[in-house]
Structure 1
């Protein structure tokens, strides 16, 4: 007979063991049944083993419960049916504790996945790494910035920028630094901010990295625009009256000279007045030239708002090439077009972008003029970051590094008759399109201007 109730089972096992022991001693002292004595002794041993095994059941349940907690295995449930009220309470307590741990673990997992989603969604690059450079965490923005699928150690970024890696190893808690990275087709201005914390005796450095090149260009252009507005306003206010007065006085003196000639006045006086008239004409001419100069730079602050439309880049390139066809032939310069894919389209103001490319081609023609095997390329494709780019490449003498850094500054020019406004105007147009324009040059090999949208 099997009894499920723990108390009854315990009493029954105790009584059975006591009776068996009594029987063993009775047979030992009163009979000579050796075989029976061995059987009864074996039965006693089996009952004692089974009795302790049954008693240890509570310890086994408790051990299983503690192992579940130790190894975070909260899938177990404790079923102890029909063993009495004390075991029922133990079972309920264990299961309630397991349930609480399951809820806490589920909440932690939800918070973890929520945090992961937020981190991956953030547009700023985040990297968490240990002191030896081993990466603990990166987000999608980091992979996109450095063009990597995975990153195990920040030392792997040396191919991208050795200076960046050195600064990541050296940066301290609360510090920020600016790193300039010149790619072949792009310029990056990376601002890095670091914070440190400790987890399980591991010192972790968390850095945020953001490319602020476009923001810097916008602020720079806004500063130049403000300066140009002030200068042009003051110059116009000063020069306009001078131009008007010099023109008026010159006309008065001219009339006066004609009257003196009619009346037969002294020729020396007439000659002196004519010299004054000539000087006034020179003043008027120079003031008109200065007014034209100022009006030219006013264009930097008067670019019309782009009227966006979708058009094929191939049509844009063909129109521009046809525009320069005669000049290119006359100067023995070849021009090729390469677009990948051929059907690539762009959403922009076609007329403004055309103006930018025309300006770049004029510069390329000037650079390759009188050069053997002069060649200009018009290229367009999707770059490694998935953005549409247009490139104007020439094999001219190139641009020196110290000059390359200043070519987009208003008023700066290397041409004797240049105004220094073309590239500045081009950058402003690209800024209004939410894009950038950058230059890359290898002296005596190639110069490449890249428009990134």
Structure 2
């Protein structure tokens, strides 16, 4: 409709200009100079208004597109004019402006929606161009790598040289595995890449996932199967030996007649009894050892209830303080919020905390001003936790990855079941047990719920 009006208006004006030009020619031929001058003035005015009309339309359209280019959607043209064609043009431009504004707002909303999804994703995501510049890195990735802001892959060399080498050599549709140990924790990273084209630029999209917990669960499952087989076979083998040795020992001890003192037979008799006692004791110790690992296999399903963190830690402190071994060690409680609640099996978590406190005490045996801190709070990710921190000598770097492995122990009388059982209990709660240690400074075990 607008183009029709514009077309008719322009044609009409051109027709009038043509007619005026013919009239001017006619008057000049007749040498009627007075009317010729008037007609010439009329012709100039018609040409002027035609140019003004066309330029006004062009200026409006140019102004409109400049506003769109600058994302200025506040532009409004007046819709009540004398000229019908300009009125319709203004109305159409206003309608188009509103449509583009709606599309723009819709695109912005979608963009914010997708950005929020990427921010909240539990995996690390980053986009890299062919020069190594990081165009996008979500907060989960920065938290995983404990580094922010990430602008170029060269920054990864400050985290780990091997990690930087992987990224610098990474090709589209490759998969890599990498174990990263930072000051907070050890994480196993699964790295997967793909490529996409954006505005003619080839970009590398990298997805990074921490699969440490999955590997941990798989390892625990493997240990569980192994321990189940071992305990079954050992118990089947040792039970008859212990039983028979005990029966023979009772037979000798309750015998009606004993050999004469000093005889060779008497010596053999005494050695036999001692040997049977050794077999009985070692068999009983071995059965006790196996029974301790059966507890690892038979962790009951937690009976979860809401428990105040403060009352839980006060209870643990009271139980631990009654042990004379803790008399020279200060125990401090730090609770972020007195009303902090945990949904746990109180009995099981208490057992875990007492075990960790005992381990801490053993590491503090030669430590002056020894102290243990029990800390409860909520981390930035919204995860509730309890920390057991001691100011002992720390755990050697080469051992820190082994302490949760069943059968592993640094104690002469230990079975290596305590920490692995504690971790299993936390897994049954849907949480995790982690450790960080700074040599000659402190060791912290953290229970995540």
Task: With the length of structure 2 as denominator, give the TM-score of the two structures.
Answer: 0.79
Name the residue aligned to 1:15. Answer: 19
Name the residue aligned to 2:288. Answer: 292
1:310 to 1:179, Cα distance in 2 relative to 1, 3 A: same
Kindly indicate whether the alpha-carbon contact (under 8 Å) linking 1:131 and 1:169 is maintained by their aligned counterparts in 2: no
What pairs up with 1:28-427 in 2 under 5 angstroms? Answer: 29=31, 37-50=36-49, 60=58, 115-116=114-115, 118-120=117-119, 122-139=121-138, 141-142=140-141, 145=144, 153=152, 164=163, 167-254=166-253, 257-259=255-257, 268-269=264-265, 271-327=267-323, 331-427=327-423
Q: CA deviation at 1:300?
A: 0.8
Kindly indicate whether the alpha-carbon contact (under 8 Å) linking 1:243 and 1:284 is maintained by their aligned counterparts in 2: yes
| Secondary structure of the structure 2 residue equivalent to 1:402 | coil
Question: Structure 1: where are the runs of 5+ without partners?
Answer: none
Task: With the length of structure 1 as denominator, give the TM-score of the two structures.
Answer: 0.79
1:161 to 1:275, Cα distance in 2 relative to 1, 3 A: closer
Q: CA deviation at 1:371?
A: 2.5
1:266 to 1:386, Cα distance in 2 relative to 1, 3 A: closer
* Alpha-carbon distance in structure 2 between the residues aligned to 1:366 and 1:187: 25
* Alpha-carbon distance in structure 1 between the residues aligned to 2:71 and 2:124: 36
* Alpha-carbon distance in structure 1 between the residues aligned to 2:392 and 2:98: 75
Question: Structure 2: where are the runs of 5+ without partners?
Answer: none
* Alpha-carbon distance in structure 2 between the residues aligned to 1:265 and 1:449: 60
Question: 1:27-62, CA deviations, whole angstroms, 9 ceiling, x for partnerless residues?
Answer: xx356x5xx6544433333334545666x6899599
* Alpha-carbon distance in structure 2 between the residues aligned to 1:112 and 1:440: 39
Which of 1 and 2 has greater Rg? 1
* Alpha-carbon distance in structure 2 between the residues aligned to 1:427 and 1:61: 74
* Alpha-carbon distance in structure 2 between the residues aligned to 1:240 and 1:127: 59
1:185 to 1:308, Cα distance in 2 relative to 1, 3 A: farther
Kindly indicate whether the alpha-carbon contact (under 8 Å) linking 1:186 and 1:450 is maintained by their aligned counterparts in 2: no
